[in-house]
Structure 1
Amino acid sequence: MIRILCSILLLAGTLTAWAGVPLDARVGMQLQRVSEHVYFVQGKAGVATDNQGFISNAAAIVTPKEVVLVDALGTPALARLFLEKLRAVSDRPVTRVIVTHYHADHIYGLQVFKALGAEIIAPAGYRDYLEAPIARQRLAERRQSLAPWVNEQTRLLAPDRVIDRDTVLDLDGVELEIGYLGSAHSDGDLSVLVRPDRVLISGDLIFEGRIPFTGGADTAHWLALLEQMDRSGLAALIPGHGPVARDPAGTIDLTLRYLRFVRGRMAQAVEEMIPFDEAYAAIDWSDWEALPAFDATNRRNAYGVYLSLEREMMGD
């Protein structure tokens, strides 16, 4: 009873703190049960400004004594709403938030859970994002484009614990295998396998139902990880964006095929010293252009890959 009362009081305090920035009902966040221990919320396809920042997924792992979250969503208001949804299925305390990678759409909600005493766990490499000018620039941009849900009270938080190797957490018999993936989609990436449920939470290593975002990714390493990934034995896969997959192999293939396609076409252009604009215009993108976020993301993806391949050729 005391634990329930404390949880209610903490939640009430959090709700009061964010009462001034309610979410529009169109966000339509729904908590979906994936397996015995795993729940998740699915972000919308498209770009952040079209969906009040709700474009990424987040998961909750309910164990006998606690709840562990994977990712924190793209605004404090979204994190608060996620917490409300969780309280409908469990009153257990949120003790940890495992951040699959430090990108804005996965970390701006961290302060809501930190206020409840949760430990933030993140991959080595997070500093390369958090301490770079891009982190502050992105926050300033989101305070404009996602106001009032991202505002002057929204802040960037460093983790309490850094993971730089594969790690297993045993939470009263529910084992979580945290996979350290190095720099792939971002400067540092993690995945989480809920062993008893055979559910993999991949972060943005895998996208479904929309164009992947590559940004400054190491697409060579990212592609190698996907090609080496053991797809056998999984009951479900929760990607960083898109619906839960009951056919994990098929879901992995979307990101895999896209990375192969972009790298292949850009490599040819770099090898033949074709200027980017000319190369991009000559490519047949018809297999991809119907996917959400294509217009906002694809050209930027291709340009980033083009530049990275130029550096690879120069031996940088």
Structure 2
Amino acid sequence: MRRLHGALLALAMLAGGAQAQDLDYRLAPRPVAPDVWVLQGANADFARANGCNIINTGFIDTGDGVMVINTGPSLRYGEQQREAISRVTRAPVRWVFNLNLHPDYFFGNQAYADVGAQALPGTMAGAQREGAAYADNLYRLCGDWMQSTVSTPPTLPVAPGERTFGRHRIELIRFDGHTDDDLVVIDHTSGVIFAGGLVFRNRIPTTPHADIARWLASLDRLQAIVARHHGYVLIPSHGPALDHADAIAQTRQYLRWLDARLRRAAEDGRDLAEVLAMPVADEYAHWAGMPAEYVRNVTHFYPRYESAALVP
């Protein structure tokens, strides 16, 4: 009996160790430019298989401390992100920025409690307002990956503008459209733009807080900035971080197509089920996020178009 008990205990320990190993995000910093790295997430939907890690986070070793850009979907991610940073540099983390209110941008903030996270005021308010609902959803979708994670919204307001962080000249710019407050971080020293949720690459955009007209206007502003700084590397928060595909053009084209499709369908008197049954244009049919994200896009937006079509 004693041997059996010992064997069972050993098996339980092995199972626990295997489970802990399975919950490893395997974060591998990829150099983007001098002093700048990105941690690429899966180009997919939230799922247990990817630990709900579908975001590209990044960090900059400024020479006077590390700047972290987005902290991922869980406490576990934030801890492993911080450990990954320590493998690259011994510099301490001094700044953390959350680029918008969506959960994978700030749910790793717990791992940076000693630093504090900064964001635009609308992001701070939105994360506070929706954090509990986000947590419920991510625990349901991601299971054990979320263990001990508590929604930890940013508490330090960002003032947009240009500042010097160590040896890096950083510009913080406020946009909107993807959400009410979208922060973009431009490292002029290294020539890297962290564009947040304003742009998606090879992926259907997420739209729960979006306004298409404002989003398109922001893309035009961002495109003008990119044109002025030819050669800068643009990092989207979702989709392949380093790729030749023009993420701004892709996102703009998709939003215009979606807007035109929904407007025409509403004018034709189609109901939601009919719109969802319409085939998706070939250029988007194989993007990540299909069909689930597209269905969410249509379900979210279409009632507005129906209401507008009824106005004389």
TM-score by length of 2: 0.85
Q: 1:28 to 1:125 in 2, by over 3 A?
A: same
Q: Give the distance between the partners of 1:236 and 1:127, measured in 2 at CA.
A: 27
Q: Give the distance between the partners of 2:19 and 2:79, measured in 1 at CA.
A: 10
Q: Give the distance between the partners of 2:118 and 2:280, measured in 1 at CA.
A: 41
Task: Please say which of residues 51-60 and 239-248 is displaced more in the overlay.
Answer: 239-248
Mapping of 1:46-61 within 5 angstroms? 46-49=44-47, 50-61=49-60
Q: Deviations over 1:137-193 (max 9, x none)?
A: 221122232222213x31222323223x632221133111011113x2123210000
Q: Give the distance between the partners of 2:68 and 2:119, measured in 1 at CA.
A: 12
Secondary structure in 2 aligned to 1:201?
Answer: strand
Deviation at 1:25, TM superposition (A): 6.7
Q: Give the distance between the partners of 1:118 and 1:159, measured in 2 at CA.
A: 11
Deviation at 1:89, TM superposition (A): 1.4
Secondary structure in 2 aligned to 1:135?
Answer: helix
Say if 2:85 is the partner of 1:86: yes
Answer yes or no: is the 8 Å Cα contact 2:178–2:210 preserved in 1: yes
Q: Deviations over 1:239-264 (max 9, x none)?
A: 1012234657x221111111111111
Q: Give the distance between the partners of 1:113 and 1:73, measured in 2 at CA.
A: 12
Deviation at 1:128, TM superposition (A): 4.7
Say if 2:59 is the partner of 1:64: no
Structure 1 match to 2:112? 113
Structure 2 match to 1:37? 35
Q: 1:159 corresponds to which letter in structure 2? A: P
Q: 1:28 to 1:280 in 2, by over 3 A?
A: same
Determine which structure has more spread, i.e. the larger CA radius of gyration: 2
Structure 2 match to 1:279? 275
The counterpart of 2:151, out of the listed 149, 156, 159, is 156
Q: Give the distance between the partners of 1:20 and 1:128, measured in 2 at CA.
A: 39
Q: 1:206 corresponds to which letter in structure 2? A: V
RMSD between superposed Cα atoms in Å: 2.4
Secondary structure in 2 aligned to 1:69?
Answer: strand
Say if 2:161 is the partner of 1:167: yes
Give % identity. 23
Structure 1 match to 2:172? 178
The counterpart of 2:180, out of the listed 145, 170, 187, is 187
Q: Deviations over 1:254-303 (max 9, x none)?
A: 11111111111011122333212212323443321211221221111122
Q: 1:226 corresponds to which letter in structure 2? A: L
Say if 2:264 is the partner of 1:268: yes
Structure 2 match to 1:291? 287
Structure 1 match to 2:305? 309
Answer yes or no: is the 8 Å Cα contact 1:185–1:222 preserved in 2: yes
Report how many residues are paired. 290
Q: 1:283 to 1:127 in 2, by over 3 A?
A: same
Q: Which stretches in structure 2 are left out of the alignment for 5+ residues?
A: 1-16
Structure 1 match to 2:126? 129
Q: Give the distance between the partners of 1:273 and 1:226, measured in 2 at CA.
A: 30
Answer yes or no: is the 8 Å Cα contact 1:43–1:54 preserved in 2: yes
Q: Deviations over 1:52-89 (max 9, x none)?
A: 11110101011111000110011111121111211111
Answer yes or no: is the 8 Å Cα contact 1:237–1:246 preserved in 2: no
Q: 1:284 to 1:171 in 2, by over 3 A?
A: closer
Answer yes or no: is the 8 Å Cα contact 1:128–1:187 preserved in 2: no
Task: Please say which of residues 273-282 and 67-76 is displaced more in the overlay.
Answer: 273-282
Q: 1:310 to 1:98 in 2, by over 3 A?
A: farther
Secondary structure in 1 aligned to 2:237?
Answer: strand
Q: Which stretches in structure 1 are left out of the alignment for 5+ residues?
A: 1-18
Q: 1:23 to 1:276 in 2, by over 3 A?
A: farther
Task: Please say which of residues 171-180 and 123-132 is displaced more in the overlay.
Answer: 123-132
Deviation at 1:213, TM superposition (A): 1.1
Structure 2 match to 1:208? 201
Secondary structure in 2 aligned to 1:148?
Answer: helix
Q: Give the distance between the partners of 1:21 and 1:158, measured in 2 at CA.
A: 29
TM-score by length of 1: 0.84
Structure 2 match to 1:244? 241
The counterpart of 2:210, out of the listed 213, 217, 220, is 217
Secondary structure in 1 aligned to 2:184?
Answer: strand
Q: Which has the higher helix share?
A: 2
